[in-house]
Amino acid sequence: MELQENKVVNVNGERTLLYKTQGTCSRYIEVGVKDGRVTRCRFHGGCDGNTKGLSQLVVGMKTEDVISRLHGVRCGMKSTSCPDQLCKALQRVEGSKDEE
């Protein structure tokens, strides 16, 4: 499956997004959601250990729990962070349910 930037793709009930981040060291986040739970999370770029750890922690979690815990987290003096950008990606995926 080839993902297009910022476009939600539905395959067998899993909604997947290649999200272009803004204001972070990571360039993209590839995230998948099925039945309200994160099924995959992979950062392209960013702090390798932190993004890998974050990805492993959120897989299997309810999207609403990830968003409630990580929304608004900042990285240093930046107005956002990789966890905050993940929340934006998840919100976009969850919002895509209305478009189907």
Backbone angles phi, psi at 45, to 5 degrees: 90, -175
pLDDT for the residue numbered 28: 98
pLDDT for the residue numbered 99: 57
Contacts of 75 (CB under 8 A, 6+ apart): 24, 81, 82
For every one of its 100 residues, what pLDDT tens digit does the chain have, with 9 covering 90 and above?
678 899 999 999 999 999 999 999 999 999 999 999 999 999 999 999 999 999 999 999 999 999 999 999 999 999 999 999 999 999 999 998 655 5
Work out the number of other CB atoms within 10 angstroms of the CB of residue 48: 9
* DSSP assignments along 52-95, one per residue: HHHHHHHTTSBHHHHHHHHTT---TTSS--HHHHHHHHHHHHHH
Name the CATH architecture for the domain at 9-99.
2-Layer Sandwich (3.30)
Domain edges within the chain = 9-99
